[in-house]
Amino acid sequence: MEEKVSKSPNSTHRTLFVILTALVLLSCSLLSDTSDAVVDEPDEEVQVDDAAASATTLVATLTDVKSAVIQIEAQGTFVDPEFGEFSGAGRGTGFIIDHSGLAVTNNHVVTGAALLKVWIGGDTSRSYNAQIIAVSECSDLALIDIEGGNFPYLEWYSGPIQVGLEVYAAGFPLGDPEYTLTKGIVSKEKADGESSWASVNHVIEHDATINPGNSGGPLVSSNGQVVGVNYATYAEANQYFAIGQNAAIPVIEQLKSGENVDTVGINGMAVISDDGTLSGIWVSSIKSGSAADESGLEAGDLITSLENLPLATDGTMSAYCDIIRTQGDENTLAMEVLRFPTQELLEGQINGRALSVVGSGPVINDSPPDGDDAGDVDIPQTGDGSDFTEITDYSDALVMVVPNSWNDVESFDWENSWELGNGSLLDFVAIDLVAAPSLDDFYDLTGPGVDFAASRHWGDIGGYLQLLDGTEHWYLDDCERDFRDDYEDEAFEGKYDYWICDHVDIVVTAVRPIADPTAYLALIQISLQTDEDFDALEQIWATFDVVNPLP
């Protein structure tokens, strides 16, 4: 799980990769009846009786769930613990719970976003604006209000949640605007709900497949009632998790009043260094005007202690949320902060004294290492750093960090010809390093893995853009390119393509070294299938490097 685990890819960096989706349901025939009045003619004031609207828009079947599920795009500026500051848009899921347009999603989908756009029921012909009503950081829940009204909506499941209960996960995984529904059963009634971005005592474990983008969406019963809010996945074990209605409903009722619950106004996650010497709550973004904002916290800060207790020593939000729940989020909370860009230690208070510099922090890079700096320090990351290992090619020229489970590894000289724009061929030699759980599946585009290659001959192609363009024909028959974006870190610059295929998503990155742009070009192809694979993407981008001369 990401979820540690369900957070979704849809922009340049992890925070947005890591945004999840939420869903809602409605009768298709009823949607057709009401959409003429509300959607097709939004500028006309339509008088709707509340009782009649409620009766006609309540979703009553599994088939109609789609009509009440929404895809949410959150646009804003975020700071990632490995990639630094970036602006972009990430997509998640939500579901409508009232015909007026109130909808539930996850806190990490919306908090800190400057703009929210919503699409209902997979209909991409019209987008809606939405306003955040209130959020709960620790329960990872948020309530938003969609413009308009008379929408289809879902009701909560009222029966007992028992092992074996048939459930369905609805949503928009991987940022895809096409609605999906997967089937499973409840496999555990009370699973551990602690994660790096939330702290819930007990959650529902089920086996209805969810992927990044599903989080925030509904887990529903066979008659379309909401059993829980999907928020996490551990795909390798076929385990998926939802915040049960018993835990969600009391929080959401508080959110309806506009009251935030167990929150100081951050979109954050627990991080811990490989050796465990540095941990805390990484602040990815901050809600303007919140207690966190008024205290002087900034996106990119690491909150290392709250009320003099260390945070995230186990890689979860547990201690942070326990303190907030004990002390209250409106009371004064002492905190210590490490500010990476300035290497300063700060002390101050939430709802009290503003942060001020009290000393210097540990000697670490301004941002987590990448490129030529890889390996100089430990990389702060979610979870247990022992899940990853460093690998090199046969010549020790290439290096990168990959998951331990990607233990099918090969390295070789890639000798081939590249067709140039003038029709001639360029003969080249590249060093190639490949790792995957199964190389056969990786090469067949049915499983995750990475292929990292570099060649000093590729400069004759023209540059990293021409190199990236030259890979398009590898994927055009089986995949569709979603977008192209810039890539830059401290050591490399270039561009990357994001491809969506039948079984995997593929990120193809072409770069050159900033210090010596003509020395060589590198090509990194990463196939993604589960939430853990997006963690792998972060690790590879943060650590790939060419450390010795190429042939």
Would you give the end-to-end CA distance of the chain in angstroms?
40
Among residues of the chain, what percentage have pLDDT more than 90?
57
pLDDT 10s digits, 166-184: 999 999 998 889 999 999 9
Taking only Cα atoms into account, the Rg of the chain, rounded to an integer number of angstroms, comes to 24
Q: Is the pLDDT of residue 317 over 90?
A: yes
Q: Is residue 3 part of a domain?
A: no
Residue type for position 350: I
Q: What is the pLDDT of residue 113?
A: 82
Give me the CATH number covering residue 447. 3.40.1000
Domain final residue, candidates 199, 220, 255: 255
Q: What is the pLDDT of residue 354?
A: 95
Give me the CATH number covering residue 289. 2.30.42.10
Q: What is the pLDDT of residue 36?
A: 31
Helices and strands: H and E segment counts in the chain? 10, 29
If one counts the domains in the chain, the total is 3
Q: What is the pLDDT of residue 479?
A: 93
Q: Is residue 367 part of a domain?
A: no
Between 41 and 290, the more confident residue is 290
Q: What is the pLDDT of residue 371?
A: 31
Taking residues 201-219, what's their average pLDDT? Answer: 92
Same domain, 226 and 292: no
Same domain, 108 and 169: yes
Which residue bears the tokens 């709802």?
A: 351
Q: Is residue 94 part of a domain?
A: yes
What is the three-class DSSP state of 253?
helix
Contact between residue 365 and residue 378 where contact means Cβ atoms under 8 Å apart: no
List alpha helices for 435-530, DSSP H. 439-443, 464-469
Taking residues 242-271, what's their average pLDDT? Answer: 94
Q: Is residue 28 part of a domain?
A: yes
Q: Is the pLDDT of residue 7 over 50?
A: no
Q: Is the pLDDT of residue 206 over 60?
A: yes
Lowest mean pLDDT among 124-138, 207-221, 414-428: 414-428
Q: Is the pLDDT of residue 19 over 60?
A: no
Same domain, 210 and 271: no
Question: Using 50, 70 and 90 to split pLDDT, how confident is the model at 40?
Answer: very low
* Nearest alpha-carbon partner for 550 in 505, 523, 519, 525: 519
Task: Give the pTM.
Answer: 0.58
Q: Is the pLDDT of residue 345 over 70?
A: yes
pLDDT 10s digits, 487-522: 998 899 999 999 999 999 999 999 999 988 889 999
Active-site residue set: 108, 140, 215
Mean pLDDT, rounded, of the chain = 82
- The pair of structure tokens assigned to 118 is 């919503």
Among residues of the chain, what percentage have pLDDT more than 70?
82
* 3-state per-residue secondary structure call for 312-371: CCCCCCHHHHHHHHHHCCCCCEEEEEEECCCCEEEEEEECCCCCEEEEECCCCCCCCCCH
Question: Using 50, 70 and 90 to split pLDDT, how confident is the model at 85?
Answer: low
Q: List the domain range (segments joined by +) for residue 293.
A: 266-360
Question: Using 50, 70 and 90 to split pLDDT, how confident is the model at 385?
Answer: very low
Q: Is residue 117 part of a domain?
A: yes
Taking residues 264-286, what's their average pLDDT? Answer: 88
Q: Is the pLDDT of residue 43 over 70?
A: no
Question: Using 50, 70 and 90 to split pLDDT, how confident is the model at 387?
Answer: confident
Taking residues 196-205, what's their average pLDDT? Answer: 91
Same domain, 129 and 245: yes
Q: Is the pLDDT of residue 283 over 50?
A: yes
Q: Is residue 375 part of a domain?
A: no
The CA-based angle 418-421-422, given to 5 degrees, is 105
Same domain, 132 and 201: yes
Domain final residue, candidates 189, 224, 255: 255
Give me the CATH number covering residue 176. 2.40.10.120
Between 500 and 428, the more confident residue is 500
Q: What is the pLDDT of residue 318?
A: 94
Q: Is residue 551 part of a domain?
A: no
